[in-house]
Amino acid sequence: MQRLALYFTAPRQVEVREETLVEPSYGQLLVRTLISAISSGTENLIYRGQAPEDLAADEAIPALAGELAFPLKYGYSVVGQVESLGPGVAPEWQDRLILAFHPHESRFLATPDELLPLPPEVSVEGAVFFPNMETAVTLLLDGRPLLGEQVAVFGQGIVGLLLTGLLARWPLASLVTLDLHPRRRLASETLGAHASLDPSASDAQERLVSLLQGPRPYPGADLTYEISGNPTALDQAIAATGFSGRVVIGSWYGRKRADLQLGGRFHRSRMRLISSQVSTIAPELTGRWNKTRRYHLAWQMLRDLNPARFITHRFPFPQAAQAYELIDRNPAEVIQVILTY
Protein backbone atom coordinates (compact mmCIF):
# COMPACT_ATOMS: atom_id res chain seq x y z
CA MET A 1 0.00 0.00 0.00
CA GLN A 2 1.31 3.46 -0.93
CA ARG A 3 0.84 6.85 0.69
CA LEU A 4 1.97 10.43 0.16
CA ALA A 5 3.81 12.22 2.99
CA LEU A 6 5.06 15.77 3.34
CA TYR A 7 8.67 16.39 4.40
CA PHE A 8 10.39 19.62 5.37
CA THR A 9 13.77 19.07 3.75
CA ALA A 10 15.59 22.42 4.10
CA PRO A 11 14.71 26.07 4.76
CA ARG A 12 11.78 27.00 2.47
CA GLN A 13 11.75 23.56 0.86
CA VAL A 14 9.08 20.88 1.23
CA GLU A 15 8.57 17.67 -0.70
CA VAL A 16 5.62 15.32 -1.06
CA ARG A 17 7.10 11.82 -1.18
CA GLU A 18 5.58 8.46 -1.95
CA GLU A 19 6.09 5.84 0.75
CA THR A 20 5.11 2.25 1.38
CA LEU A 21 2.71 1.69 4.27
CA VAL A 22 2.10 -1.69 5.89
CA GLU A 23 -1.30 -3.02 6.90
CA PRO A 24 -2.45 -2.22 10.46
CA SER A 25 -1.14 -4.61 13.10
CA TYR A 26 -2.76 -5.59 16.38
CA GLY A 27 -4.49 -2.61 18.02
CA GLN A 28 -3.94 -0.28 15.04
CA LEU A 29 -6.26 1.44 12.57
CA LEU A 30 -5.59 2.69 9.05
CA VAL A 31 -6.83 6.24 8.50
CA ARG A 32 -7.40 7.89 5.13
CA THR A 33 -6.86 11.65 5.37
CA LEU A 34 -9.57 13.99 4.08
CA ILE A 35 -8.06 17.39 4.93
CA SER A 36 -5.26 18.81 7.08
CA ALA A 37 -4.61 22.33 8.35
CA ILE A 38 -1.30 24.16 8.00
CA SER A 39 -0.18 26.07 11.07
CA SER A 40 1.04 29.46 9.88
CA GLY A 41 2.87 29.90 13.20
CA THR A 42 4.82 26.80 14.20
CA GLU A 43 5.00 25.27 10.73
CA ASN A 44 6.13 28.54 9.22
CA LEU A 45 9.04 28.67 11.70
CA ILE A 46 10.03 25.16 10.63
CA TYR A 47 9.55 26.02 6.95
CA ARG A 48 11.84 29.05 7.30
CA GLY A 49 14.46 27.09 9.26
CA GLN A 50 13.88 29.17 12.40
CA ALA A 51 13.02 26.31 14.77
CA PRO A 52 15.66 25.04 17.22
CA GLU A 53 16.83 21.76 15.69
CA ASP A 54 17.78 20.16 19.01
CA LEU A 55 14.26 20.57 20.42
CA ALA A 56 11.81 17.65 20.45
CA ALA A 57 9.06 18.16 17.86
CA ASP A 58 6.44 17.50 20.53
CA GLU A 59 6.95 15.52 23.71
CA ALA A 60 3.20 14.96 24.21
CA ILE A 61 2.23 13.62 20.74
CA PRO A 62 3.53 10.15 19.71
CA ALA A 63 3.21 10.91 15.97
CA LEU A 64 5.66 13.82 16.38
CA ALA A 65 8.53 11.94 17.99
CA GLY A 66 12.01 13.13 17.08
CA GLU A 67 13.72 16.51 16.83
CA LEU A 68 12.99 19.55 14.69
CA ALA A 69 15.90 18.83 12.36
CA PHE A 70 15.67 18.46 8.56
CA PRO A 71 14.36 16.32 7.03
CA LEU A 72 11.24 15.93 9.13
CA LYS A 73 7.53 15.41 9.00
CA TYR A 74 5.41 17.88 10.92
CA GLY A 75 1.80 18.97 11.27
CA TYR A 76 -0.78 18.47 13.98
CA SER A 77 -4.29 18.76 12.57
CA VAL A 78 -5.58 15.99 10.33
CA VAL A 79 -9.20 15.01 9.77
CA GLY A 80 -9.73 11.62 8.20
CA GLN A 81 -11.85 8.50 8.05
CA VAL A 82 -10.96 5.09 9.44
CA GLU A 83 -10.41 2.85 6.43
CA SER A 84 -9.55 -0.51 8.00
CA LEU A 85 -8.96 -2.12 11.39
CA GLY A 86 -6.20 -4.30 12.69
CA PRO A 87 -6.88 -7.24 15.00
CA GLY A 88 -8.15 -6.27 18.44
CA VAL A 89 -9.80 -2.99 17.44
CA ALA A 90 -13.51 -2.59 18.23
CA PRO A 91 -15.62 -2.78 15.05
CA GLU A 92 -17.43 0.51 15.78
CA TRP A 93 -14.25 2.36 14.70
CA GLN A 94 -14.78 1.30 11.08
CA ASP A 95 -15.56 4.31 8.82
CA ARG A 96 -15.52 6.79 11.73
CA LEU A 97 -14.57 10.39 11.04
CA ILE A 98 -11.68 11.36 13.32
CA LEU A 99 -9.30 14.16 14.25
CA ALA A 100 -5.63 13.31 14.78
CA PHE A 101 -2.62 15.32 15.95
CA HIS A 102 -0.59 13.98 13.06
CA PRO A 103 1.75 15.18 10.27
CA HIS A 104 0.49 15.76 6.72
CA GLU A 105 0.09 12.31 5.13
CA SER A 106 -2.53 10.81 2.83
CA ARG A 107 -2.83 7.68 5.01
CA PHE A 108 -1.42 6.73 8.38
CA LEU A 109 -1.54 4.13 11.12
CA ALA A 110 -2.68 5.02 14.63
CA THR A 111 -4.10 3.49 17.77
CA PRO A 112 -7.60 4.40 19.01
CA ASP A 113 -6.23 6.46 21.92
CA GLU A 114 -4.46 8.74 19.39
CA LEU A 115 -7.73 9.63 17.63
CA LEU A 116 -10.66 11.88 18.56
CA PRO A 117 -14.00 10.91 16.96
CA LEU A 118 -15.80 13.90 15.46
CA PRO A 119 -19.03 14.87 17.24
CA PRO A 120 -21.93 14.50 14.79
CA GLU A 121 -22.66 18.25 14.77
CA VAL A 122 -19.08 19.26 13.83
CA SER A 123 -18.20 19.30 10.13
CA VAL A 124 -14.97 17.97 8.64
CA GLU A 125 -13.78 21.51 7.87
CA GLY A 126 -14.81 22.72 11.32
CA ALA A 127 -12.99 19.88 13.05
CA VAL A 128 -9.64 20.76 11.45
CA PHE A 129 -9.59 23.83 13.72
CA PHE A 130 -9.72 21.70 16.88
CA PRO A 131 -6.00 21.94 17.85
CA ASN A 132 -6.05 25.73 17.49
CA MET A 133 -9.31 25.97 19.41
CA GLU A 134 -7.80 23.89 22.20
CA THR A 135 -4.89 26.36 22.24
CA ALA A 136 -7.31 29.30 22.43
CA VAL A 137 -9.15 27.65 25.33
CA THR A 138 -5.82 27.14 27.12
CA LEU A 139 -4.91 30.80 26.62
CA LEU A 140 -8.23 31.75 28.15
CA LEU A 141 -7.69 29.46 31.15
CA ASP A 142 -4.20 30.86 31.69
CA GLY A 143 -5.27 34.50 31.37
CA ARG A 144 -8.41 34.20 33.53
CA PRO A 145 -10.26 37.30 32.31
CA LEU A 146 -12.52 38.95 34.87
CA LEU A 147 -15.79 40.84 34.64
CA GLY A 148 -15.19 44.39 33.43
CA GLU A 149 -11.51 43.95 32.56
CA GLN A 150 -9.73 45.66 29.70
CA VAL A 151 -8.06 43.17 27.37
CA ALA A 152 -5.64 43.56 24.46
CA VAL A 153 -4.67 40.79 22.02
CA PHE A 154 -1.57 41.14 19.85
CA GLY A 155 -1.90 38.88 16.82
CA GLN A 156 -5.00 37.87 14.87
CA GLY A 157 -3.86 34.79 13.08
CA ILE A 158 -6.23 31.89 13.49
CA VAL A 159 -5.37 31.29 17.18
CA GLY A 160 -5.75 35.00 17.88
CA LEU A 161 -9.10 35.11 16.10
CA LEU A 162 -10.41 32.10 17.99
CA LEU A 163 -9.24 33.63 21.26
CA THR A 164 -10.97 36.90 20.35
CA GLY A 165 -14.17 34.98 19.65
CA LEU A 166 -13.97 33.40 23.11
CA LEU A 167 -13.10 36.66 24.88
CA ALA A 168 -16.00 38.43 23.16
CA ARG A 169 -18.37 36.18 25.15
CA TRP A 170 -17.10 37.83 28.37
CA PRO A 171 -18.61 41.10 29.72
CA LEU A 172 -15.34 42.97 29.27
CA ALA A 173 -14.97 46.73 29.53
CA SER A 174 -12.93 46.71 26.32
CA LEU A 175 -11.44 44.17 23.93
CA VAL A 176 -8.86 45.61 21.53
CA THR A 177 -6.88 43.52 19.06
CA LEU A 178 -3.87 44.29 16.88
CA ASP A 179 -2.65 42.77 13.63
CA LEU A 180 -0.64 43.98 10.63
CA HIS A 181 -3.12 42.68 8.06
CA PRO A 182 -6.47 44.37 7.26
CA ARG A 183 -8.22 41.09 6.43
CA ARG A 184 -7.52 39.74 9.90
CA ARG A 185 -8.48 43.00 11.60
CA LEU A 186 -11.85 42.93 9.84
CA ALA A 187 -12.40 39.30 10.90
CA SER A 188 -11.48 40.28 14.47
CA GLU A 189 -14.13 42.99 14.61
CA THR A 190 -16.66 40.57 13.11
CA LEU A 191 -15.94 38.24 16.04
CA GLY A 192 -16.62 40.95 18.61
CA ALA A 193 -13.45 43.00 19.13
CA HIS A 194 -14.40 46.57 20.04
CA ALA A 195 -11.55 47.81 17.85
CA SER A 196 -8.71 46.25 15.85
CA LEU A 197 -5.57 48.30 15.22
CA ASP A 198 -2.54 48.18 12.96
CA PRO A 199 0.46 47.84 15.35
CA SER A 200 2.80 49.35 12.76
CA ALA A 201 0.90 52.66 12.65
CA SER A 202 2.79 55.59 14.19
CA ASP A 203 0.00 56.28 16.68
CA ALA A 204 -0.85 52.63 17.44
CA GLN A 205 0.41 52.62 21.04
CA GLU A 206 -1.27 55.94 21.81
CA ARG A 207 -4.59 54.78 20.35
CA LEU A 208 -4.37 51.46 22.15
CA VAL A 209 -3.78 53.00 25.57
CA SER A 210 -6.58 55.54 24.98
CA LEU A 211 -9.01 52.71 24.14
CA LEU A 212 -7.96 50.78 27.25
CA GLN A 213 -7.63 53.65 29.71
CA GLY A 214 -11.12 53.89 31.23
CA PRO A 215 -11.87 55.16 34.77
CA ARG A 216 -8.79 53.67 36.45
CA PRO A 217 -5.81 55.22 38.23
CA TYR A 218 -3.33 53.26 36.08
CA PRO A 219 -3.73 53.30 32.28
CA GLY A 220 -3.32 50.18 30.23
CA ALA A 221 -4.72 46.69 29.90
CA ASP A 222 -5.57 44.44 32.81
CA LEU A 223 -4.82 41.45 30.61
CA THR A 224 -2.72 41.34 27.44
CA TYR A 225 -2.09 38.41 25.11
CA GLU A 226 0.93 38.20 22.79
CA ILE A 227 0.25 35.59 20.11
CA SER A 228 1.55 37.29 16.98
CA GLY A 229 4.70 35.18 16.72
CA ASN A 230 6.68 38.42 16.41
CA PRO A 231 9.16 39.00 19.28
CA THR A 232 8.97 42.79 18.90
CA ALA A 233 5.26 42.61 19.72
CA LEU A 234 6.07 41.38 23.23
CA ASP A 235 7.70 44.70 24.09
CA GLN A 236 4.60 46.48 22.75
CA ALA A 237 2.37 44.20 24.80
CA ILE A 238 4.30 44.98 27.99
CA ALA A 239 4.08 48.72 27.26
CA ALA A 240 0.30 48.42 26.81
CA THR A 241 -0.26 46.65 30.13
CA GLY A 242 -1.23 48.53 33.29
CA PHE A 243 -0.05 48.23 36.88
CA SER A 244 -0.35 44.66 38.19
CA GLY A 245 -1.58 43.47 34.80
CA ARG A 246 -0.97 40.07 33.23
CA VAL A 247 0.81 39.43 29.94
CA VAL A 248 0.11 35.94 28.58
CA ILE A 249 2.73 34.86 26.03
CA GLY A 250 1.32 32.25 23.69
CA SER A 251 3.75 32.86 20.81
CA TRP A 252 6.55 30.45 20.07
CA TYR A 253 9.47 32.44 18.69
CA GLY A 254 11.73 29.52 17.84
CA ARG A 255 15.28 30.86 17.53
CA LYS A 256 14.13 34.48 17.24
CA ARG A 257 15.03 36.60 20.29
CA ALA A 258 12.86 39.16 22.04
CA ASP A 259 14.53 42.48 22.87
CA LEU A 260 12.61 43.88 25.87
CA GLN A 261 12.77 47.27 27.55
CA LEU A 262 12.50 46.27 31.21
CA GLY A 263 14.37 49.15 32.78
CA GLY A 264 11.56 51.72 32.77
CA ARG A 265 7.93 51.50 33.82
CA PHE A 266 7.99 47.70 33.85
CA HIS A 267 10.34 47.67 36.85
CA ARG A 268 7.68 49.31 39.06
CA SER A 269 4.59 47.87 37.44
CA ARG A 270 4.28 44.55 39.28
CA MET A 271 2.93 43.01 36.08
CA ARG A 272 3.20 39.27 35.49
CA LEU A 273 4.55 37.56 32.37
CA ILE A 274 2.82 34.20 31.94
CA SER A 275 3.93 31.44 29.58
CA SER A 276 1.03 29.54 28.00
CA GLN A 277 1.34 26.37 25.94
CA VAL A 278 -1.30 23.77 25.11
CA SER A 279 0.77 20.63 25.86
CA THR A 280 0.04 21.01 29.57
CA ILE A 281 -2.59 22.48 31.90
CA ALA A 282 -1.56 25.01 34.55
CA PRO A 283 -0.80 23.06 37.77
CA GLU A 284 -3.17 25.21 39.84
CA LEU A 285 -6.07 24.10 37.58
CA THR A 286 -5.37 20.38 37.41
CA GLY A 287 -7.50 19.62 40.46
CA ARG A 288 -10.53 20.44 38.31
CA TRP A 289 -9.29 20.42 34.72
CA ASN A 290 -7.82 17.66 32.58
CA LYS A 291 -7.42 17.19 28.84
CA THR A 292 -10.76 15.44 28.48
CA ARG A 293 -12.62 18.37 29.99
CA ARG A 294 -10.64 20.78 27.79
CA TYR A 295 -11.45 18.66 24.71
CA HIS A 296 -15.18 18.82 25.46
CA LEU A 297 -15.02 22.59 25.78
CA ALA A 298 -13.02 22.96 22.55
CA TRP A 299 -15.60 20.93 20.61
CA GLN A 300 -18.39 23.05 22.05
CA MET A 301 -16.65 26.28 21.08
CA LEU A 302 -16.08 24.99 17.54
CA ARG A 303 -19.83 24.52 17.21
CA ASP A 304 -20.49 28.00 18.54
CA LEU A 305 -17.88 29.98 16.57
CA ASN A 306 -18.03 28.17 13.20
CA PRO A 307 -14.34 28.78 12.30
CA ALA A 308 -14.61 27.06 8.90
CA ARG A 309 -15.56 30.50 7.56
CA PHE A 310 -11.92 31.52 8.05
CA ILE A 311 -10.56 29.04 5.49
CA THR A 312 -9.11 31.32 2.83
CA HIS A 313 -7.25 28.81 0.65
CA ARG A 314 -7.48 25.12 -0.24
CA PHE A 315 -4.61 23.30 -1.99
CA PRO A 316 -4.52 19.69 -3.27
CA PHE A 317 -1.90 17.83 -1.26
CA PRO A 318 0.57 17.44 -4.19
CA GLN A 319 0.63 21.28 -4.38
CA ALA A 320 1.66 21.69 -0.72
CA ALA A 321 4.84 23.58 -1.66
CA GLN A 322 2.69 26.34 -3.16
CA ALA A 323 0.65 26.54 0.03
CA TYR A 324 3.72 27.08 2.22
CA GLU A 325 5.14 29.63 -0.22
CA LEU A 326 1.87 31.60 -0.06
CA ILE A 327 1.88 31.66 3.75
CA ASP A 328 5.54 32.70 3.82
CA ARG A 329 5.42 35.41 1.15
CA ASN A 330 1.86 36.76 1.26
CA PRO A 331 0.59 36.51 4.85
CA ALA A 332 -1.85 39.41 4.28
CA GLU A 333 -3.92 37.13 2.03
CA VAL A 334 -4.07 34.24 4.47
CA ILE A 335 -6.10 33.32 7.52
CA GLN A 336 -6.31 29.50 7.31
CA VAL A 337 -4.86 27.30 4.59
CA ILE A 338 -5.88 23.66 4.32
CA LEU A 339 -4.61 20.75 2.25
CA THR A 340 -7.14 18.48 0.54
CA TYR A 341 -6.54 14.79 -0.27
* Sequence ranges of the domains in the chain: 2-118+306-340, 134-283
Q: What is the pLDDT of residues 254-265, one digit of tens each?
A: 888 888 888 878
pTM: 0.94
- Asked whether the beta carbons of 59 and 101 are under 8 A apart, the reply is no
pLDDT at 254: 84
Q: What pLDDT was estimated at residue 56? A: 56
The answer to whether domain 2-118+306-340 and domain 134-283 are alike in fold is no
Task: State which residues of the chain have pLDDT below 50.
Answer: none
b/e sequence 1-24, b meaning 16+ C-beta within 10 Å: eebbbbbbeeeeebebeeeeeeeb
**Residue 286, Cα to own-chain centre: how many angstroms?**
22
Nearest to 8 by CA among 323, 336, 329: 323
98: left (phi over 0), alpha (psi -120 to 50) or beta: beta
Contacts of 39 (CB under 8 A, 6+ apart): 75, 76, 77, 132
Which pLDDT score, from 0 to 100, does residue 219 have? 80
**What tens digit of pLDDT does each residue of 220-264 get?**
999 999 999 999 999 999 999 999 999 999 998 888 888 888 887
The CA distance from 111 to 63, in Å, is 11
CA distance 87 to 305: 39
Instruction: Specify the CATH superfamily of domain 2-118+306-340.
Output: Medium-chain alcohol dehydrogenases, catalytic domain (3.90.180.10)
The identity of residue 280, as a single letter, is: T
The reported pLDDT for the residue numbered 66 is 65
Parallel, antiparallel, or unpaired for β 29-38 and 107-110?
A: antiparallel
pLDDT at 63: 56
Q: Phi and psi dihedrals of 304, rounded to 5?
A: -75, -40
**Which class does domain 134-283 fall in?**
alpha beta
Question: Torsion angle of alpha carbons 118, 119, 125, 131, nearest 10°?
Answer: -70
Q: Which residues contact 61 (CB under 8 A, 6 or more apart)?
A: 76, 101
What's residue 321's pLDDT? Answer: 97
